Structure 1
Amino acid sequence: MNGRAVKITGSKTLTLARILEMASAKKGLDIIGIIDCHSPEVIAEVKMMIAQGELTELEEGGLRFQDTTLILGSEIEIYDSNCQGPIHVLAYFPTIAVMEHFSNWMRGYMKNIHLSSQRIYCDGRVLQQKVHDMGGLFIPAHVFTPFKSLFGKGVHHSLTEVFDPHLIDAIELGLSSDTQMVKNIRELQAYTFVTNSDAHSLGKIAREYQKLRLKAANFNELKKALHEQEGRAVIANYGLNPLLGKYYQTVCAKCGVQVNDEDVLCKSCGSSHIIKGVATRIMELSDTDCTERERPPYIHQVPLDFIPGLGPKMLERLIHAFGTEMTILHCITTEQLAEIVPLKIAQMIDLARTGKLNIAVGGGGVYGKVILE
């Protein structure tokens, strides 16, 4: 609202108003969680939008903007004596009043309350308990990525080393993993998996999301879905093909060449700076005799901005013709697409949703790429 950045790694166009417009008008999302809402600047903007009638507070939690409900969230970095972090976690709250109270509480444990994803100087379990006492949701974030995650560094082998397992509402998988990959991790069987985009720019919104069975789009219904109460549930996860994720395979951080998991040095450049891939880390945590719980389907999707040759102007034509990116990705026929864009692009979109695209695998912080034949 005052031009002050609240997320240094985010695009300058990633403002609250633009996020909500994109989510409602172009992405077709019924609910969006925004994890920068503890910032005083964001709180002030939310209050202003409420006063101007652009946001409406819902009785059961959340704020309505056009066709989308905003769930107020915060991404927080913990690094206490137990966690040997840093580890990112997510907290979501039902109202702006509760979020403001939480923000004021965090001021006593944080050096810069204005920025997102800042380190909090308190025990992880203390943070969990505070979120729980305030009626919030607590979710460990992108739990397998090599940096700033629960399992990514290879230090922790159980979430109980850091967290109270009874105060976790869901587990966020991250862009380089899916349900099938993690099915044999025993202690995660108790939790609902969420797949979120972790977007740092407008175009990346809804790279990943979940389809929910709810009576209405609000905070209380979301909470019931995460705990599979009263028939509410996550009924499908939609996510980036893990091969496209930034950390799927093990690579040398210096030269980017794929490295065998057992190698200590890169055979290409001799560097010892190896970034272990998510696929390898998951295998280390898996138990082959684990009984897999029934999970909703995990549907791989390739976002439109990953399709070679599909630029912003072509995307605008598609949005204008068919409404939202989700509709284009999952509902529109190849023939209909070919009426708006070149046949080759239409065919690539169809190959993407059937899992038949050729992919150069990602790793070491570099996204995978769709390869043209």
Structure 2
Amino acid sequence: MGLREFNLDLHFHGPWAGGVSKNMLIPVIAEQAQLKGLDVVSTADATHGDWLKHLKQELVEEENGVYRHPGFETRFLVGTEVCCNRRVHHLIYLPDLATAETLRLKLMGKGSLDCAMCGRPQLRMSPEEIAGVVHDLGGIIGPAHAFTPYFSVYAHFDSVKQAYGAEGKKISFMELGLSADSYFADLIAENHEYAFLTCSDSHSPWPHRIGREFTRMKMEKPGFEGLRRALADREDGLITLNAGLDPREGKYHLTACNACYKKYSVEAAEKFKWKCVTCKGEVKKGVRDRIRELADFGEEVHPRHRPPYQHLVPLAEIIQAAVGAENPLAEKVQRPWLKFVETVGNEIKVLVDAPIVELQEIDERIAAYVEAFRAGRVLYLPGGGGQYGKPIICLSEEELERKKTELGDALEGKGDAEKQRTLLDY
């Protein structure tokens, strides 16, 4: 059997992780993932007792740890996320649900696994200890959203190897998170050793959230061993695409107040002792500035095995801009969204693969916005402090230049009290 490409989103959460939609249930996830264009997703939260029961009730095993809901084509691989005693989040992938049960037993007594907010359990274990348990079970582990100011490896360590200690040499991947991309991550030399996962970390099943970041991989067929091989590969190009938000749309891209979202330079934040001069809230260091501290390179550089990174804007947000809606879930957004998806096949095909002429036959105005997005005519009011950035799609180069002038410093997150220096101009 030859290799085929599959779209994977291997990080989101079920209802027991806190702040998660009550609709995050397997039948809904399977349906919405199929509409999005995802071939393979994670089970998520596979150490939580009630969620494990739900998984066993709703999924059937096809073969070798690949699961499917009977009503849909979406495949599920067993995965979860845990938090260690250093406040770092880790993604874990396992051969099957039986192994998840074994992992659960080994974690008993190391933290609460079954509370209403424990889909992502907080464990009294170090990164090295957790990785050792996972590796002994034949699983895969790596840092989740590696750069965010909360709960990430680079928030609390200066390198992945430092975090995982003796287990560090077995780490094959890191998840980039919404506020970083390959361009930023590869400014750190150590990261050239790792495969990059792009995943949604979604708390909602709707396609403007789930699959907003995905990884395209070559496998003979979906499966744990195919995933392991792709994450370990540095020669055969088995990961063919990382796709996700422009980092400026991420919630933690710039250094900002986590209460009023005022943006700061690191120098200004240090001057004010990381307290906001406007509201006295806490100022959190942004991903861009943290990478600037750790960067080994001052310009774009990638290892030979690194695939392209394609910036995405969810189709519902593109349609929202085209029709002037206030909400991506509004009926005047969802109606044309469904028409595009049903006609073309799925959302990822609309965003990435379908010829523009095919989209024009469905709706010329929305197709023009998709074409502008693909051409890179998108400006961003950058996010920070926990607030998402805002994409601004421009239909022409003239509009792009005009809005650059109109928005000025706002595009760099510069406030009135102090002007920030940017890490990179891109």
TM-score by length of 2: 0.78
**Residue equivalent to 1:329:** 351
In the alignment, the residues of structure 1 paired with residue 298 and residue 278 of structure 2 have an alpha-carbon distance, to the nearest angstrom, of 39
Amino acid of the structure 1 residue aligned with 2:105: N
**Residue equivalent to 1:113:** 114
The answer to whether the 8 Å contact 2:172/2:194 transfers is yes
2:315 pairs with 293, 300, 304, which one? Answer: 304
**Residue equivalent to 1:96:** 97
Amino acid of the structure 1 residue aligned with 2:75: T
2:27 pairs with 12, 17, 22, which one? Answer: 17
Are 2:279 and 1:278 equivalent residues in the alignment? no
**Residue equivalent to 1:56:** 61
In the alignment, the residues of structure 1 paired with residue 262 and residue 389 of structure 2 have an alpha-carbon distance, to the nearest angstrom, of 13
Flag the 1:243–1:229 CA change in 2: closer, same or farther, 3 A.
closer
Higher relative helix content: 2
**Residue equivalent to 1:27:** 36
User: How far did 1:292 drift?
Assistant: 4.2
Instruction: Say which SS state the counterpart of residue 138 (structure 1) adopts.
Output: strand
In the alignment, the residues of structure 2 paired with residue 173 and residue 161 of structure 1 have an alpha-carbon distance, to the nearest angstrom, of 18
How many positions carry a matched residue from both structures?
356
In the alignment, the residues of structure 1 paired with residue 250 and residue 309 of structure 2 have an alpha-carbon distance, to the nearest angstrom, of 15
Flag the 1:216–1:299 CA change in 2: closer, same or farther, 3 A.
same
User: How far did 1:268 drift?
Assistant: 5.5
User: How far did 1:230 drift?
Assistant: 8.2
Flag the 1:232–1:218 CA change in 2: closer, same or farther, 3 A.
farther
Q: Deviations over 1:165-211 (max 9, x none)?
A: 12313111111111111222122221111111111111211111111
Instruction: Say which SS state the counterpart of residue 134 (structure 2) adopts.
Output: helix
**Residue equivalent to 2:399:** none
In the alignment, the residues of structure 1 paired with residue 100 and residue 62 of structure 2 have an alpha-carbon distance, to the nearest angstrom, of 13
**Residue equivalent to 2:9:** none
Q: % of aligned pairs identical?
A: 30
Q: Deviations over 1:193-235 (max 9, x none)?
A: 1111111111211111111111111110110010017846211
> Runs of 5+ in structure 1 lacking a partner?
80-84
User: How far did 1:34 drift?
Assistant: 3.0
The answer to whether the 8 Å contact 1:249/1:364 transfers is yes
Instruction: Say which SS state the counterpart of residue 8 (structure 1) adopts.
Output: coil
In the alignment, the residues of structure 2 paired with residue 196 and residue 267 of structure 1 have an alpha-carbon distance, to the nearest angstrom, of 31
TM-score by length of 1: 0.88
**Residue equivalent to 2:182:** 179
In the alignment, the residues of structure 2 paired with residue 206 and residue 47 of structure 1 have an alpha-carbon distance, to the nearest angstrom, of 23
In the alignment, the residues of structure 2 paired with residue 120 and residue 284 of structure 1 have an alpha-carbon distance, to the nearest angstrom, of 29
In the alignment, the residues of structure 2 paired with residue 289 and residue 175 of structure 1 have an alpha-carbon distance, to the nearest angstrom, of 22
In the alignment, the residues of structure 1 paired with residue 381 and residue 237 of structure 2 have an alpha-carbon distance, to the nearest angstrom, of 37
In the alignment, the residues of structure 1 paired with residue 388 and residue 15 of structure 2 have an alpha-carbon distance, to the nearest angstrom, of 26
Instruction: Say which SS state the counterpart of residue 235 (structure 1) adopts.
Output: strand
**Residue equivalent to 1:130:** 133
Instruction: Say which SS state the counterpart of residue 153 (structure 2) adopts.
Output: coil
Q: Deviations over 1:50-108 (max 9, x none)?
A: 5xxxx23313x3224443321111110111xxxxx311001111111111111222222
Shifted more, 309-318 versus 117-126: the winner is 309-318
Flag the 1:325–1:191 CA change in 2: closer, same or farther, 3 A.
same
Instruction: Say which SS state the counterpart of residue 109 (structure 1) adopts.
Output: coil
Correspondences of 1:71-90 after superposition (within 5 Å): 71-79=77-85, 85-90=86-91
In the alignment, the residues of structure 1 paired with residue 125 and residue 260 of structure 2 have an alpha-carbon distance, to the nearest angstrom, of 37
Amino acid of the structure 1 residue aligned with 2:119: S
Are 2:223 and 1:218 equivalent residues in the alignment? yes
Cα RMSD (Å) of the superposition?
Answer: 2.3
In the alignment, the residues of structure 1 paired with residue 276 and residue 153 of structure 2 have an alpha-carbon distance, to the nearest angstrom, of 29
Q: Deviations over 1:100-142 (max 9, x none)?
A: 1112222221123352112011222111011001111101100
Instruction: Say which SS state the counterpart of residue 76 (structure 2) adopts.
Output: strand
